[in-house]
Structure 1
Amino acid sequence: MTTNANTQALSEQGVSIWLDDLSRERLDSGSLAGLIESHHVVGVTTNPTIFESALAKGEAYEQQLSELADAGADAEKAVFDITTTDVRQACDVFSGVYERTDGVDGRVSIEVDPRLARDTEGTIAQAKQLWEAVDRENVLIKIPATVEGIEAIAAVLAEGISVNVTLVFSLERYRAVINAFMLGLEKAHADGRDISKIHSVASFFVSRVDSEVDKRLELAAEEGKPGTEKLRSSAALANARLAHQIAGESFSSERWQLLAERGAHPQRLLLASTGTKDPNLSDTLYVTELVAAGVVNTMPEKTLLALADHGTVDGDTMTDTYVESNRVLDGIAAAGISYREVVDVLEAEGLDKFVKSWEGLLGTIDTGLRRVVA
């Protein structure tokens, strides 16, 4: 199979390309395996919205729905079994990548019930259940980076469970995520665990930052505040690039070196929400402008195909941008836009979206269970 030159170029820059999508149909058709060969896809992320969309189509899940209905499963049980089955199968598809990269890539993520995002103990308990149910070393358990989630992240990592920390929007919260990661590894090591087997990524959301900030910049412009136009569509890149700076500083610290000497792998920065929402922007903006060795970019299929078709990769576009990125955020603050307010709104909206998708998923499954027994 011919490999795509543009995705190959991104991969050669050290960026891991993950697909932000999964479905039974994609697994059964061989589509996922094909993207590994043709588009350098080396991992998958999922979330409640992705599973809601997959299950709404339904046909590929009919047999398992019938089996679950015959066993008397309710919607909660069925969702758990169906999603862990998909993720387990995807983990098997990526087993070769996982082995070839010594566990760095070949990863598939599954998220705890988003209704537990403010429940530390509930998150810990379900993370353990998902880890045991999928029963594959290359699964990542997704935990939202809420205040309550930070403690859960450290506790789950300490149990030897690999984690994808999701819904990270702010630089301050990202620092807390890295601290929780190191705390978890320190506890795991103290308990005698092999920390070389524990992997983690931190999903730093990108495009939604521009959506929220640009909306506020428009209001600032209407109020006559100068300089707002040049700041449009610049906040998300600046925020992500400064997250990259934080990662570089954190994983060159003395604290980290002690863990690295014990076999630990650094938590990688994962760029999420990289599909462009503004039609006036390049549809590969949040890929080609966020290139640096060691980062992960998880893309919806539409963005992946756009990259493959016309994306241009021109080397590292993050490392030498920190000074300008700080100027961008300073300019946004000078326009009267509160960074803290923006990231708080985005976290609340993100959680709300996932909870609604989860409830929609439960409703779809409940309808399916009733249908197959009718």
Structure 2
Amino acid sequence: MTTNKALTDLADAGVSIWLDDLSRERLESGNLADLIETKGVVGVTTNPSIFQAALADGEAYAAQVADLAAADSGVDDAVFAMTTDDVRAACDLFTPLYERTDGVDGRVSIEVDPRLARDTAATVDQAQALHAAVDRPNVLIKIPATVEGLPAITATLAEGISVNVTLIFSLERYRAVMNAFLTGLEQAKEAGRDLSTIHSVASFFVSRVDTEIDKRLDVLGTEEAKALKGKAGIANARLAYQAYEEVFSSARWETLAAAGARPQRPLWASTGVKDPAYPDTMYVTELVAPGTVNTMPEKTLDAVADHGVVTGDTVTDHYGDAAAVLDALEGLGISYSDVVDQLEREGVEKFEKSWAELLDGVTAALERAR
């Protein structure tokens, strides 16, 4: 494990450091193994944009593309095979960590096809297919927190499959996600499943909230508006942790915990700073709280290792401040509900676009190989 002070302090404060990236090149070069050893990385998340970028590197996948072309695989089957192979290899790399942490960390996430984000039944079917194809106990299946995704989350967990719930922007939706999680565990318990083997994280997006709200504050241009820039994302996440503490101290949760259930950990996603005017470590050092995950792009991980200052819990004493930020934004006419609804739509659209580019790239590669 790392001897870097900032990263060690982060882990000691209860934050699991996950890398928000995966590629075959990382796996084959030993880069990911090195990050586990030197930077304290204990998990990996992927998404359609990450796979699109990874598979754009034709050289790393050339041999498999040739085999798939020779087998006359269609593009969807080819993408499924390549992505699940990468995730399986990463799961194997993390197996010792997974075993050492009793299944809490050493986790690798793979997302359902983003085109299914509004289709509950198809999402459940693909979650099961991905879980079976990767065939490793430390895989997490990513399901978006759309309205249609909520019952899919419940159904997947009820089958004993561990889930990473993604694309959460609003506090209201986050509460619905936690309810879907608890309902899934209740159904799994009724079916006689071992609850201790079912894990979940809830990926609450951070920087994108600031990007959208800062745009609206810039339009207003007042001193009051300027003073609120860069504050909404962290405030929103801190209030999410307050909701997490409330739900996971409830009688409903205690009943499940007594049966062996593990809590669904909050995961801070989109933690790379988009505005260069802000400290490049702020979505890490300002969101330190026990029992959380922070999934970082490598650039952010390097910044924290280089000059991050971790001072312990920076969340639980700031609920009042966080609520005041969101109230002030509403007072300026910036609608919280409008912002989070827009961000969810754009999040799904972004992943759909990346997936389309991925399919186009793999189609062209298959044709060249043939």
> What is the identity percentage for the equivalent residue pairs of Structure 1 and Structure 2?
64
* 5+ long unaligned stretches in structure 1: none
Whether 1:291 aligns to 2:288 is yes
Q: Which runs of 5+ in 2 are unaligned?
A: none
Letter in 2 for 1:102: D
1:206-285 equivalences in 2 (<5 Å): 206-221=206-221, 227-285=224-282
CA offset at residue 220 of structure 1? 2.1
Per-residue CA distance 1:201-228 (angstroms, 9 max, x = gap) = 000000000000011111222xx5x621
CA distances 1:103-139 after superposition (whole Å, capped 9, x unpaired): 0000000000000000000000000000000000000
**Residues of 2 paired with 1:74 and 1:352: CA distance?**
24
**In the alignment, which residue of structure 1 is the partner of 2:88?**
88
Partner in structure 2 of residue 17 of structure 1: 17
**What is the RMSD of the two structures over their aligned residues, measured on CA atoms?**
0.9
1:199 has 2:199 as partner: yes
2:71 corresponds to = 71
> How far is 1:5 from its partner?
2.1
Matches within 5 A, 1:1-374: 3-221=3-221, 227-373=224-370
Distance 2:2 2:184 in 1: 42
Pairwise CA distance, 1:232: 0.8
Aligned residues of 1:220 and 1:336 also touching (Cα < 8 A) = no
Deviation at 1:41, TM superposition (A): 0.3
Query: 2 CA distance for matches of 1:65 and 1:6?
Result: 41
Question: SS in structure 1 opposite 2:42?
Answer: strand
Q: Give the distance between the partners of 1:325 and 1:342, measured in 2 at CA.
A: 17
Q: What do residues 317-363 of structure 1 show as CA deviations (whole Å, max 9, x unaligned)?
A: 00100001000000000000000000000000111000000010011
- 8 Å Cα contact 2:2/2:40 also seen in 1: no
SS of corresponding position for 1:41: coil
**Shift of residue 49 of structure 1?**
0.4
CA distance in structure 1 between the aligned counterparts of 2:237 and 2:58, rounded to whole angstroms: 36
What is the TM-score of this pair, normalised by structure 2? 0.99
8 Å contact kept, 1:94–1:106: yes
TM-superposed deviation, 1:4? 2.0
Structure 1 consecutive aligned stretches of length 4 or more whose deviation exceeds 4 Å: none
**For residues 346 and 25 of structure 2, what CA distance do their matches in structure 1 show?**
29
**Aligned-partner Cα distance in 2 for 1:363–1:304:** 31
For 1:97 and 1:271, how far apart are their aligned partners in 2?
21
TM-score (norm 1): 0.98
| C-alpha distance in 1 between matches for 2:213 and 2:90 | 36
Q: Displacement, 1:58?
A: 1.5
State how far apart, in whole Å, the 1-side matches of 2:119 and 2:264 are.
Answer: 24
